[in-house]
Amino acid sequence: MKKLRVGVIYGGRSGEHEVSVASAASIMRHLDRHRYDPVPIRIEKSGRWSLADKVPTAISAADVLEHARADGGRLARGREAHLVAYPSEEAMLTIERPGSGDARDGDQQAIVTGLGLDVIFPVLHGPYGEDGSVQGLLELANVPYVGAGVLGSAVGMDKAVMKVLFAARGLPVAPYLVYLRHEWQRDAGAATQVERTLGFPVFVKPANLGSSVGISKAKTPQELADAVTLAFSFDRKVVIEAAVPQAREIECAVLGNDDPEASVAGEIVPSREFYDYEAKYLDEGSKLLIPAPLSPLETENIRRLAIEAFRAVEGAGMSRVDFLVDGTNGKVFLNEVNTIPGFTTISMYPKLWEASGLGYAALIDRLIVLALERHAAKQQLKTSIT
C-alpha cells in the first residue's frame, strides 16, 4: 500500500504558538512510518512558512519556551514553503534561496520544488490557524485536511458567536456580555453594567483565543478594569462571563463527521484558582481525573451535550467540549468547543479517547480517515450548473 504523505502544519502567529509546537511534536512521533510519510511544515510567529529541516521534539509548551530562550529566539531553519491556493498535484511549493535565504535577495537564483500532499493535519491553536483562515486556504488548494471546515473553525474560535449558536440550539450557557474595544472605551457605564448584570466575580476573555491566554478572573471593579485591558491587548472583542459558583471543570472529546461519538468525561482540578495558561502548561500541580467522578446520568448528559455542541458549530473530525458544573447544585453550563484541541500525549483530548479504548496512534489514524472521507464527499458536489 502506498504511504500517505501527511503535511503537519504547526506553530503559527498566535499566542498559542508554543502549545502548537508541542502538539505537533507528539503527533509526528506517533505517526506510523510504515503507513505515513510525515512532512513538518512550520509557521513562525512572523507568519513565515517553512519546510522544517528537523521534526519538532519538545513535548510540552514549557519545553518549547525553554528551547526558544536557549536559542535566543532565532527562527528555525528550513526551506521557504508556500501552499498553492488552487487545486494541483503539487499542493506545496518550496523555495531554496542561495546565500542568506532572505526572500529579499531577488538577484539570486532560487530553486523552486513542488511537493504533493495527500492530507494535511493542521495542529494550529488560536488565530491565523484554528479560526478558519488556514482552513480556507486548504479549501482553495482542494487538499483533504483534519478537523472542522471554515465555518466550524471560525465559530469554534469566536466565543461570542459560539454562545449565540449554543443558545439558539437551546443549550445551557452562563450569563455573559460582549464588548468591542470601542464600545467599552466610549461607554463610561460599561463597568457598572457588568457589575449590575453579572455581579462579581466574573471571567474576562479575549473572544478569539485559546489555551486560557489573556483570561482573568475579576472580583472587584479595579480588577475588572485590569482584566479588560489585558483581554483587549489580545483581541478587539472580549467576553465577560458570570463565574459559576464552585465550578467544576469537565471536558469531553468528540470524534467523527456526520455521526460523531463522545468519549468518557474527564475533570480538571487546577493547581491555581482556575485553569489558566500557567496551570495548563507550566505548573505540574494540576490533576486530570479520567473518568470524571460523575454519576452515570450526569455523564450521559455531558456526552449528549458535547455532541449537540459539536453539531451546533458544524464541527468535523475532532473537538474537545468544555463544561462548567455548578458545585452547589450540579447545573451544567457549556463553556466552549475547541476544534483543534491540545494534542500532546498528556493533553485531555487524546487521554479521554485512550480511556474510551482508542489509543493515541489509532486516534491519529481515525482522524486521517475522517479527513479523507469528508474530502471525498465534497468532491461529489457540483461546482457548475451545466
CATH of the domain at 310: 3.30.470.20
Q: Does 151 reside within a domain? A: no
304 and 237 in a single domain? The answer is no
Q: Are residues 168 and 303 in the same domain?
A: yes
Q: Grid coordinates in use for 149?
A: 471546515
d(CA 129, CA 205): 19
**Residue 385 falls within a domain, yes or no?**
no
CA-based nearest residue to 242, from 327, 335, 336: 335
Count other Cβ atoms within 10 Å, centred on residue 100. 9
Residue whose entry in the numeric block shows the C-alpha cell 535577495: 105
Whether 212 and 97 share a structural domain: no
DSSP designation for 12: -
Q: What is the pLDDT of residue 205?
A: 95
167 lies in the same domain as 311? yes
The pLDDT of residue 72 is 44
Looking at residue 208, what is its pLDDT?
Answer: 87
Q: How many domains does the chain have?
A: 3
329 strand-pairing partners = none
Burial 150-175 (b: 16+ CB within 10 A, else e): bebbbbbbbbbbbbebbeeeebebbe
Which among 384, 386, 383 is positioned nearest to 139, based on CA atoms?
383
User: What is this structure's pTM?
Assistant: 0.89
Same domain, 288 and 357: yes
Helix (H, G, I), strand (E, B) or coil at 191: helix
pLDDT of residue 102: 53
- Give 251-296 as a 3 state SS string: EEEEEECCCCEEEEEEEEECCCCCCCHHHHHHCCCCEEECCCCCCH
pLDDT of the chain, 386 residues: tens digit per residue = 789 999 999 999 987 888 899 999 999 999 999 999 999 999 999 999 999 888 777 565 556 655 554 444 444 567 899 999 999 999 999 988 776 545 455 556 788 899 999 999 999 998 899 999 999 999 999 999 999 999 999 999 999 999 999 999 999 999 999 999 999 999 999 999 999 999 999 999 999 876 577 899 999 999 999 999 999 999 999 999 999 999 999 999 999 999 999 999 999 998 766 555 554 444 567 799 999 999 999 999 999 999 999 999 999 999 999 999 999 999 999 999 999 999 988 899 999 999 999 999 999 999 999 999 999 999 999 888 87
Q: Distance between CA atoms of 147 and 145, rounded to whole angstroms?
A: 7
Residue 379: what are its φ and ψ, rounded to 5°? -70, -15
Tracing cell 500532499 back to the chain, one arrives at 117
> What Rg, from alpha-carbon coordinates, does the chain have?
21
User: Do residues 221 and 77 both lie within one domain?
Assistant: no
Do residues 309 and 256 share a domain? yes
- The contacts of residue 81 (CB under 8 Å, 6+ apart) are 41, 49, 50, 51, 92, 93, 94, 95
Instruction: Return the C-alpha cell found at 378.
Output: 465534497
Its domain, for residue 95, covers 4-145
| Residue 236 and residue 121 share a domain | no
Sign for the pseudo-dihedral over CA of 27, 122, 11, 324: negative
Query: How far apart are alpha carbons 190 and 232 in whole angstroms?
Result: 14
- 339's grid cell: 476544534
Do residues 306 and 252 touch, judged by C-beta distance below 8 A? yes
